[in-house]
Amino acid sequence: MILTLVEAKKYLKGDESDTSEDLDILSLITAAEEYLKNAGCKLPEGNELAKLAIKLLVVHWHENREPIGKADKLQYSLSNIILQLQYCYEEETII
C-alpha cells in the first residue's frame, strides 16, 4: 500500500484517533490504487506523485459520496498525473 491510513486521515483533515471510518478509508485507498493500476499507471513505492494521485482520489470519493458527483473538479489534475504515472517509470519499479 503506497498511502497509509494515517497519511490519508491527515490529508482528509480527520481526527487520527477517530477510528469510525477507518475501514471505509482503507477501502478507498485500495480502490484508488486499483483504479490507477487499471488505468495503466505504474505505482513505484515511495513515489510522491503516485501518493498524490491516490490522495486526490480518496479525498474526492470521500467527500462526494452521492452517485452523481462533481468529477469535473478532479479531472484535470488527475488526468495529468495519470499520464505521467503511465509513462515515466520503468516496469521493474512497479509494486
pLDDT digit string, tens, across residues 78-91: 888 888 888 887 66
CB of 91 closer than 8 Å to CB of 44: no
Give the global pTM.
0.78
The dihedral sign for the CA sequence 30, 63, 38, 46: negative
**Digit-coded pLDDT (tens) for 52-83:** 999 999 998 898 877 665 656 667 678 888 88
Domain that residue 68 falls in: 5-93
**Count of structural domains within the chain:** 1
